[in-house]
Structure formats: structure tokens, C-alpha cells
Amino acid sequence: MDSPRGQLLAGKYEPIKPAGRGGMASVWLGLTHGEAGFRRRVAIKRLLQHRSKDAEFAHMFVEEARVVAELNHPNIVQIHDFGVDEYGCYFIVMEWVDGLSLDRYAGAFARRGRRTPWYLVAAISIEVLRALRAAHERVDEAGNPAPVIHRDVAPANILVGKNGIVKLADFGLSRATDRPSRTAPGVVKGKVSYIAPEVLEARSPSVRSDIYSMGVVMWETLSMRHLFGGDGTDVAIAMRVLKAKIPDLSELRPDVPEPLIAVVRRALAKDPDARFESAGEMLRALTALLRELPHRTGSEAISESVKDTLDFLARAVPGPGSFSPLE
């Protein structure tokens, strides 16, 4: 049963309305029902029923729950519960982020004929990098380094809340280095247009491949254009990624300061060794940049921008934006 609306999962989680669906799972806005009339809005991520019988997909879903449960960080969507429902499907109960994804945020600016505020794009990116730093610097119970590589950093997986808090979501493709890989050699996981060139060449994903994906996210959100994706088959997109021809961002956004463009350019270097060494290093570069500028970039400024964007979307005639990655 892939449409559980109106059902109580595990006796207390009620899916209310769909919030998203991918190839592995659906996400629902839901309610937790507790004692004495207690109610709480949550996100319910449920493995699609036909995927429940696939050992690989079931393993990935369980691994996502395990990994995120260990990553207790304010910029990572937190897990409240994990279980199996009455239909034999795994589900994860997560915090509900009241806001919108980064692709919808950028798309709304495109629909209004405006540019995304570059200083807020930088501020949002800092929060995502904090999440990546926490994942990359994870240690196991014995205190040994056990990095988690996200492998799916993309605008749709970055959630910006009305409270101004930014959350990184969807660790469904993540690779925890303290567990053996189940991915067959040469198999690529993730959205092709955000995958680092070396991963497409069958090298193992790393901290620096996540940094590359973050560079693509920043380039697209600033330029309001697709870098490699948008049209064509996965093979055609992969060929563009491998050619690594990055249009000059300064020509597309002359208002963006050169130091910020330099940060994006370095993150997008084809050679992993030429990129930032860590999410922390990239974070520090962006923080130093914003510290020297007069713009408001704190959570209050992000909150105001998100609320304004949501107000526009509520009043706008439905229709696609000119920038809509993954749609």
C-alpha cells in the first residue's frame, strides 16, 4: 500500500498529505498521536511497498535511519522513530521542516524575475556545510573516525525553514565508512548532474566529492541556471560533467563579489586535490567573506526571505519556474 493516507502507522503515526516521492520512498506530512490528545507534526518517510521486497533498497533505508540517528546536529533533519508498518514497509519518522526546499526557493525568484540574494545563498550554504562537517567528522563508539559521505547533496535535499534554520535531508544514499560498501563497482548513486567527475569515473565517493556537489548547488542557485543537467539523458549529462566546462559565474552574476565566485570555482575543481580539503575549510572561507560585508545574513534574514517567498508562492498562479532543478 503506497498511499497510506488515513491509516495509523504503528498505531500512532497518521500520514496527512504527500510531501514528496522518489524512486525509493514517499514522504508525507503527518501527525504523531499520543496520550491525552497530544499531537505533533512530523515527516513520515516510507519505503515504497514494491521496494520493501528488494534487499538493496531495504538495506539503504535501514542504513539511512541508523546513520542519521547518530548524527545529532541542528543542521541535519533529525529522526524521531523507525519501524515497520502493518503492511511490512519500513518507515522513518522525522522532524517536519516548515518551509521549502532550496530548489523551490530559487525557482520562486526566477518566476518573479529576480536574482537570488547572493549573500543569503552564501549564508544558507554555510549552514549546509555545517551539516556536512558533522557528517564527515563522525566518529564511531570507540572514538575512531567514521565519516559519512552524503552522496546526494542537491537543492531538493536542502530545506530552509520559516524560522531561518537550514537543514540537510535525505541521507538515503549516504556511505558510512565504518560499514562495508554494498554498491557494485562502477555503479553510480545519486543525481548525475551533482555527482563529482571522479565518482563518475568509478572512484570512491569522498569528503571532497560532497564538496563538489555543494559547489554545483551554489553555482546553480546563484546563476539560476542548470550547470550540467536540465535536459538530456543521464549519459549526456555525465559527459558534460566529465568535460568540466564551467561557465564564468561572474558573467552571469556580475553583482556577486569575486571572493564568493572564487569559493564556488574552487569547490568545482575537476581535480579533487584542488578543492577545499574539508567542509570546515570551505565553511571558514564563506564565513570570513560574510564577516567583511554589511548584509544581514543571520537566521532572521533567512526567515524573512523564506516567508516572503512562501507568501509569493501562495498567491502565484501555478506554473514552473525557469530554474527548477530535479523537476
* Residues carrying an active site annotation: 152
Q: Cα separation of 1 and 261, whole Å?
A: 47
Q: How far apart are CA 291 and CA 123, in angstroms?
A: 11
CB 101 within 8 A of CB 158: yes
For residue 256, give the amino acid letter: V
Q: How far is CA 26 from CA 31, 120, 267, in A?
A: 16, 30, 31
Closest by CA position to 93, among listed 165, 172, 148, 14? 14
| Residues ≥6 apart with Cβ < 8 Å to 271 | none
Whole-angstrom CA distances from 135 to 75, 145, 175, 242, 280 are: 10, 11, 10, 26, 11
If you count them, how many residues does the chain have?
327
CA distance 62 to 57: 9
Taking the C-alpha atoms of residue 89 and residue 101, their distance in angstroms, rounded to an integer, is 26
Residue 113 has a CB neighbour count (10 Å cut-off) of 7
List the beta strands (DSSP E) in the chain. 13-21, 25-33, 39-47, 79-84, 90-95, 99-101, 148-149, 158-161, 166-168, 175-176
Cα 197 to Cα 71: distance, rounded to the nearest angstrom: 27
Coil/strand/helix, residue 298: coil
